[in-house]
Structure 1
């Protein structure tokens, strides 16, 4: 189970002089990479060199996808449950990444 109050698991990876995080959504098979994981401030990065290692199991989300501005009006409400919709309304996330990897669940 993720650390409260996040809705995602994360692991710090250190390879040679490179340090980054792997993030996995708790409810959906969405995986992403970041250079920092701080409350309300995740800095998403791309790690194309690792995509093949995870893509058979997870949907790898790119920095571009996660940085896309989130527009609640364009939301496909059939994909989310009532609690998720309520949280989105309350927290007003600015990007898709803030919806998928958040601190309010």
Structure 2
């Protein structure tokens, strides 16, 4: 059973200590290091802001565009088939490309499609803070991916 880490929703309560944020500069640095290692280029990098709960980057190698998502709180990255569209649930996760292992050198864990597609009902969410559980009840994500990479406000 997958255990969902505290901070996975990107929320915390008023009395809770703020969660550490993944620095968008560290994500950009990792993207550029990955790109250099495979002869790719980095397209637009978009920081999370208020919503969504993730940073995005485009990596282009041999004409193939890969959209990388970086969680704003947890040092994890995931890949989607097409760039996210504001407000739409992310359900088009894909397995990390072979070159994605280079993100691990930057301190990021790769999330695979099986983990992201896991039904939330089959996971352990006991580590989530009460404020996060309230958001889960309100928004009703059905998978780990929808919980972690969201547009909730």
Q: TM-score per shorter chain, which class? A: 0.7 to 0.9
On the 8 A contact 1:19/1:35 being kept in 2, the answer is: no
Q: Residues 13-92 of structure 1 correspond to what in structure 2 (within 5 A)?
A: 13-36=59-82, 37-38=84-85, 39-42=87-90, 43-56=92-105, 57-71=107-121, 74-77=123-126, 79-92=127-140
Question: May I ask how many residue pairs the two structures share in their alignment?
Answer: 103
Tell me the residue number matched to 2:9: none
> What is the CA deviation profile of residues 54-98 of structure 1, one whole-angstrom value per residue up to 9, with x for unaligned ones?
1231111001110111118x5332x22222111101011011100
Where in structure 1 are there 5+ consecutive unaligned residues? Answer: none
Runs of 4+ in 1 over 6 A off after TM superposition: none
When normalised by structure 2's length, the TM-score is 0.60
On the 8 A contact 1:67/1:95 being kept in 2, the answer is: yes
Q: CA RMSD in A?
A: 1.8
More strand, by proportion: 1
When normalised by structure 1's length, the TM-score is 0.84
Q: For 2:142, what is the secondary structure of its paired residue?
A: coil
Asked which structure has the greater CA Rg, the reply is: 2
